[in-house]
C-alpha cells in the first residue's frame, strides 16, 4: 500500500482515480500548513502539489519514504529537482494537460490589447459611449513572434495562423521539421524574432537559461508600438526594465498573466498604472476542462511511478524526450522488458552491461539505457527502481554500463541489443518494435525468435528432436496451465533449439522441476514480464 499526500486543491476526478486504486492510501489535505507538513511527510510515499507547496531541501530531508513528487501543472519551480534526483525521487508533472487553456488565455490577452477591450469595458461601465477612443488593430497580417514552440506555443501558433497572422518562432530545442509541419518559420536567434515581430508572446519554461531572458537589451530592440504577452512564467521578464520602457511609450499593449512574485508586490504593481495593460492572476490553467485533465493526468502518473511502471512526464529524468515521444514509447517499454528478461534469464550478477541501439532511435539512447537499467535491476533489488535512480543503483552495484550506437541493420530498421559478459559467460537479448508500436523480443543469445514481452513465459533450451513440446504440453495440461503461444528458434536442424511458451498462469517450482527433468530439456526457466 502506497501512502499519497495531496497538499493542494485538485479536481475530484483525479481524487477518484487515487481513491479507487486498491494500492493507494490517499490523504487529501489541500490546506495543510507548512509546520504540520514537515511533521508528517516522513510517512508518505508520494506528494502531489500545485504551486502553493514548496518541495524544498528542508521538506525532502524529512521525507524518509518519499519516492514520487507529482506537480499538478507544468511548472516545477517550487520543486528542488537536484535534491530530488540525488535522493532517487521521481518528479512528474502534467505537460499538455492545460495546453488549450493556456493557449486560449494567451489569445484572449492578445485580442484584448489589440482591440482595447478592457478599456472599452471600463468606459461602458462608467456610462460612457465613446467609439472613436477605442480604435484597435487586427491580428490578421501581423507578424507574431512566439518564444518557445512547445505544447502551448504550438497551439498559439495554430490559432494565430488561423487568424491570418504570419508566425515566426524561436526555440533552440525544436527541430526544423516541427516548424514546417505547423507552417511556422523557425528563426535562429531571439534577436531576429524580437526585431521582426509586431506581437511577441512567451511560451518557454522558467529555467536558469530563461530567467531574465527578456530585459533592457531585448526591450530596446523591439519595434515601437509592439504588443507583448506573457502567459508563461514571470521570472522570464525583467519587470523593472519593462516598467521603464512602458514609461517611454514603447508598447501599444501588454498582456500579463504571470509575475516574478505572486501575488505581485508594490514594485510589480507599478506596471498596473498604465492603461494599455491587460491583467489576469495566473489563470492560464483555470478552466474546468484543464483542471480535470491536470488532476487525472497527475493521478495516473503518480500511480504509475509508484508501481514502477512507464511514466510519460518524468521531469528530472537523466534525459529529455520531447519531440517524437510517441514514436519511441514502444521502444522504451521494450528496453525495460529486455533488461528484466536478461536478469531473469541470465542472472543479475554481471558487472558489465553492453547496450547497443541501432537505427533512428539511437538519438534517444539515454532514455533507452535508463529503461534497460530499470528493467535489469528491478527483479534483484528490494526497493523501487525507477529511471532516476537506476543509473545510480547500477553504479553503486559496480556495474559498468557500455553504450553504443550503430546504423540500421539489414534485418531491422531499429533494434535494441543488450549483452552481459563475465567469466567466459555471455548472454544477449535483442528486440524491436514493429511499426514503432508493437514491442517484440527477437533475439535470445544466438537464437532468432519472436516473443511478445508480456505475461508468463517458459523459456527453455532443448535437444532438437521430435516430441519435446508434447512432453512439456502434457506436464502443463496436467497442472491445468494453459498455453497462450509458442515460438521456436534454432541454429541448425537436429542440434539445440530454444523454445518460448507463453502461458496463462505462473509455473510453480515443482512444475518447473518436472519440466527440467524431461531428458531432452537442457534448461528451463520462468520469466515474468
Q: How far apart are CA 81 and CA 102, in angstroms?
A: 24
What is the SS3 assignment for 338-358?
Answer: HHHHHHHHHCCCCCEEEEEEE
Question: What spatial distance separates the first Cα and last Cα of the chain, rounded to whole Å?
Answer: 22
Query: Is position 9 annotated as part of the catalytic site?
Result: no
What is the Cα–Cα distance from 442 to 502, expressed in whole angstroms? 15
Out of 233, 358, 364, 487, pick the active-site residue.
233
Q: Is 338 exposed, middle or buried (0-12, 13-18, 19+ CB in 10 A)?
A: buried
Region of 270 (left: φ > 0; alpha: ψ -120 to 50; beta: rest) is alpha
Alpha-carbon gap, residue 243 to 517, rounded angstroms? 83
- Of 289, 283, 279, the C-alpha closest to 109 is 279
Cell 521538506 belongs to residue = 59
CB 74 within 8 A of CB 47: no
Whether residue 262 lies in the annotated active site: yes
Instruction: Identify any residues that bridge with 79 across adjacent strands, giving them in sequence order.
Output: 55
Q: What is the 3-state secondary structure (H, E, C) of 451-476?
A: ECCCCEEEEEEEECCCCHHHHHHHHH
| Helices 288-306 and 99-115, axial angle in degrees (round to 10) | 150
- Residue 397 annotated among the catalytic residues of the structure: no
Beta bridge partners of 278: 255
Question: Using an 8 Å Cβ cutoff, are 360 and 414 in contact?
Answer: yes
Give dist(CA 112, CA 104) in Å, integer.
12
- Whether the CB-CB separation of 293 and 305 falls below 8 Å is answered with no
Q: Which residues contact 396 (CB under 8 A, 6 or more apart)?
A: none
Out of 262, 289, 309, 396, the active site residue is 262
Query: Active-site residue among 50, 71, 118, 282?
Result: 282
Considering only CA atoms, which of 144, 145, 5, 153 is closest in space to residue 74?
153
- Taking the C-alpha atoms of residue 444 and residue 496, their distance in angstroms, rounded to an integer, is 13
CB 44 within 8 A of CB 4: yes
Would you name the residues annotated as active-site residues? 233, 262, 282
Amino acid at each position: 500500500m502506497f501512502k499519497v499526500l495531496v497538499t493542494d486543491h485538485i479536481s475530484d476526478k483525479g481524487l477518484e482515480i487515487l481513491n479507487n486504486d486498491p494500492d493507494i492510501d490517499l490523504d487529501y489535505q489541500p490546506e495543510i500548513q507548512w509546520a504540520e507538513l514537515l511533521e508528517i511527510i516522513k510517512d508518505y510515499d508520494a506528494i502531489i502539489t500545485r504551486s502553493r507547496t514548496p518541495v524544498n531541501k528542508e521538506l525532502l530531508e524529512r521525507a524518509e519514504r518519499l519516492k514520487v513528487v507529482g506537480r499538478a501543472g507544468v511548472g516545477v519551480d517550487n520543486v528542488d529537482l537536484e535534491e530530488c534526483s540525488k535522493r532517487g525521487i521521481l518528479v512528474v508533472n502534467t505537460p499538455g494537460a492545460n495546453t488549450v487553456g493556456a493557449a486560449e488565455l494567451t489569445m484572449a490577452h492578445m485580442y484584448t490589447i489589440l482591440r482595447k477591450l478592457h478599456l472599452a469595458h471600463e468606459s461602458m461601465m462608467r456610462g460612457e459611449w465613446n467609439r472613436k477612443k477605442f480604435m484597435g488593430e487586427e491580428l490578421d497580417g501581423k507578424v507574431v513572434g512566439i518564444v518557445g514552440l512547445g505544447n502551448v506555443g504550438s497551439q498559439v501558433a495554430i490559432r494565430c495562423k488561423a487568424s491570418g497572422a504570419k508566425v515566426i518562432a524561436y526555440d533552440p530545442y525544436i527541430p526544423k521539421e516541427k516548424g514546417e509541419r505547423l507552417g511556422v518559420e523557425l528563426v535562429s536567434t531571439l534577436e531576429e524574432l524580437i526585431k521582426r515581430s509586431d506581437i511577441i508572446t512567451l511560451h518557454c519554461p522558467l529555467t536558469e537559461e530563461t530567467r531574465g531572458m527578456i530585459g533592457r537589451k531585448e526591450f530596446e530592440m523591439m519595434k515601437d508600438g509592439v504588443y507583448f504577452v506573457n502567459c508563461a512564467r514571470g521570472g522570464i521578464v525583467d519587470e523593472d526594465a519593462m516598467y521603464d520602457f512602458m514609461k517611454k511609450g514603447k508598447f501599444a499593449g501588454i498582456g500579463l498573466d504571470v509575475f516574478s512574485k505572486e501575488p505581485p508586490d508594490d514594485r510589480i504593481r507599478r506596471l498596473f498604472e498604465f492603461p494599455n495593460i491587460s491583467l489576469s492572476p495566473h489563470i492560464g490553467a483555470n478552466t474546468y476542462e484543464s483542471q480535470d485533465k491536470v488532476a487525472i493526468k497527475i493521478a495516473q502518473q503518480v500511480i504509475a511511478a509508484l508501481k514502477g511502471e512507464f511514466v510519460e512526464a518524468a521531469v528530472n529524468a537523466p534525459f529529455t524526450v520531447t519531440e517524437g515521444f510517441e514514436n519511441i514509447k514502444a521502444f522504451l517499454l521494450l528496453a525495460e522488458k529486455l533488461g528484466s528478461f536478461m536478469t531473469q534469464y541470465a542472472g543479475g550478477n554481471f558487472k558489465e552491461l553492453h547496450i547497443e541501439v541501432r537505427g533512428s532511435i539511437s538519438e534517444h539512447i539515454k532514455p533507452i539505457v535508463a529503461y534497460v537499467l530499470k528493467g535489469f535491476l528491478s527483479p534483484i533489488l528490494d526497493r523501487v527502481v525507477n529511471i532516476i535512480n537506476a543509473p545510480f543503483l547500477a553504479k553503486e552495484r559496480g556495474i559498468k554500463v557500455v553504450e553504443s550506437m550503430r546504423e540500421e541493420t539489414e534485418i531491422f530498421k531499429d533494434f535494441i541489443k543488450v549483452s552481459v559478459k563475465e567469466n567466459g559467460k555471455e548472454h544477449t537479448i535483442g528486440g524491436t518494435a514493429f511499426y514503432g508500436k508493437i514491442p517484440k523480443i527477437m533475439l535470445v543469445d544466438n537464437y532468432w525468435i519472436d516473443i511478445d514481452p508480456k505475461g508468463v513465459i517458459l523459456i527453455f533450451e532443448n535437444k532438437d528432436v521430435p516430441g519435446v513440446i508434447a512432453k512439456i504440453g502434457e506436464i502443463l495440461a496436467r497442472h491445468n496451465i494453459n498455453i497462450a503461444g509458442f515460438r521456436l528458434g534454432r541454429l541448425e536442424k537436429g542440434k539445440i533449439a530454444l523454445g518460448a511458451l507463453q502461458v496463462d498462469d505462473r509455473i510453480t517450482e515443482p512444475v518447473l522441476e518436472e519440466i527440467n527433468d524431461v531428458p531432452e530439456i537442457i534448461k528451463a526457466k520462468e520469466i515474468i514480464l
